[in-house]
Amino acid sequence: MLDKQVCKNIKMVLLDVDGVMTDGSIFINHDGEFFKSFNVKDGLAIELLRSHHILVGVISGKASAALDTRCQQLGFDEIITGCKNKLPALVNICSKYKISADQIAFLGDDVLDIPIFEKVGLAVAPIDAHSLAIDSADWVSSLKGGEGMVREFADLLLTTQLNLPLKDVYKPLLDKIRLDDVATMEQ
């Protein structure tokens, strides 16, 4: 379970990518191009969070054309890639959006994420994260990275934050679908 007061305070969700939105696999072809596999359930989670006025961003240690494409598709508010030390990025994001670190939830899976886990209001890890990341997390998903853990977290965060049943949390998305207002909706 998530702490209700902590959830009510969350204004932004930041994600690591490899091991969170993906299973951590990187496919490289003979030309050296990267390919990654993303879960569409997580894509819809981004839309769900934004429909409830939660800012969403990426701070990823890796940079690739595949990641840039996916981030653009999903319309993240903040996209920072190729970032090994995520703490300066966190400070800049807080300043840019005029929020404090305790108003941010960060989803990460490895030791590079532990320093940022220690600064944010809510640290989240997939069940297959490195043991030290799991030990540092406030909440651990029942799912592995790349298997919909972002969606599982978004559902739990919003039902807790809004004190609503899941069907009511999804009402803004369902209303858009019913009105055929889906041109900007991405999975």
Q: Comparing C-alpha atoms, which of 78, 70, 54, 94 is closest to residue 18?
A: 70
Confirm or deny that 109 is annotated as ligand binding.
yes
Which DSSP state fits 2?
A: -
Q: What are phi and psi of 73, to 5 degrees?
A: -60, -45
Residue type, 47: E
Confirm or deny that 16 is annotated as ligand binding.
yes
Question: Rg of the chain's alpha carbons, rounded to an integer?
Answer: 16
Confirm or deny that 113 is annotated as ligand binding.
no
Beta bridge partners of 53: none
> Which residues are documented as binding site for substrate?
18
Binding residue numbers for Mg(2+): 16, 109
Write out the binding residues.
16, 18, 109
